[in-house]
Chain A
Amino acid sequence: EVQLVESGGGLVLPGGSLRLSCAASGFTFSSYWMHWVRQAPGKGLVWVSRSNSDGSSTRYADSVKGRFTISRDNAKSAPYLQMNSLRVEDTAVYYCVRFYGTRTYSYMDVWGKGTTVTVSS
């Protein structure tokens, strides 16, 4: 079964750090780009970051650039999101997402259940 399971969320003070992990299984992890998408309470989905299949290319939303770092360990089938200098507005459920793309279409086809990050004093 294709599966993504996030971990590492929790309550953190403003300015603090957290590292999210995601365990991928049931597919050839090293062949896929991976993304992180977040959803603040009662709000819509917001794309956060992506890594290409070997981790050599990454991109970030402007709101997290310079504070968050995406990485991956293909040997462990795991993407990560290191979050530093956390702000109250980073409070959200964070989803680990598999991305599939061709020359004519691309989409996010497998989502984890999410891990909750709460930034509060």
Chain B
Amino acid sequence: DIQMTQSPSSLSASVGDRVTITCRASQSINSYLNWYQQKAGEAPKLLIFAASTLQSGVPSRFSGSRSGTDFNLTISSLQPEDFATYHCQQSHSPPWTFGQGTKVEIK
């Protein structure tokens, strides 16, 4: 199985900060990497697919990038509604594995 290692597990940041979350795959997954946002008590929501393509309706302050088996999710200027947990997920091959999640909290 492909292991997805996400870091950090949590972070504290202020509104307006630039935030970067990293996800590392245990083997090559090309760009089959998706990012989801989950607010407390809600279902996950797709943010980015194919490592860097923004899902329709997602604000442009969110971006994704890839370097080999390392993937980043960046929020350029954190907004109050962005405080949530972010999950990466590989869709290269089954089982479709997720990272352990990164909780973004208010500093």
B50 adjacent to A45 (CB under 8 Å): no
- Interface presence of B89 (CB below 8 A): yes
User: Chain A's interface: helix, strand, loop or mixed, by majority?
Assistant: strand
Chain B min CB distance to A63 (Å): 10
Judge if A88 is at the interface, Cβ distance under 8 Å.
no
CB distance from B90 to the nearest CB of A (A): 10
B95/A61 in contact, CB under 8 A: yes
Determine the chain B residues whose CB is within 8 A of the CB of A59 once the complex forms: 94-95
Q: Would A47 and B97 count as touching, CB distance under 8 A?
A: yes
Residues of B within 8 A of A62 (CB): 95
Chain A contributes a number of interface residues (CB within 8 A of B) equal to 21
Is A104 on the interface with B (CB-CB < 8 A)? yes
Q: How far is the CB of B1 from chain A (nearest CB, A)?
A: 8
Which chain B residue has the least Cβ–Cβ distance from A101? B91
CB-CB < 8 A to B32: which residues of A?
105-106
| Interface residues as binary, B80-107 with A (CB distance below 8 Å gives 1, 0 otherwise) | 0000000101010011111111000000
Chain A residue at smallest Cβ distance from B49: A107
Binding site for B on A (CB under 8 A): 35, 44-47, 50, 59, 61-62, 95, 101, 104-109, 111-114
* B residues near A47, Cβ cutoff 8 Å: 94-98
Q: Chain A residues with Cβ under 8 A from B95's Cβ?
A: 47, 59, 61-62
Q: Are B101 and A112 in contact (CB under 8 A)?
A: no
Task: With A44-B101, A45-B98, A47-B96 as known contacts, state yes or no: A95 contacts B50, CB within 8 Å.
Answer: no
Chain A residues, CB < 8 A from B42 = 113
CB-based contact B94/A105 at 8 Å: no
Structural contact, A35 and B96, CB atoms closer than 8 A: yes
Cα distance A106–B20 when bound, in Å? 23
Contact B98 A46 (CB under 8 A): yes
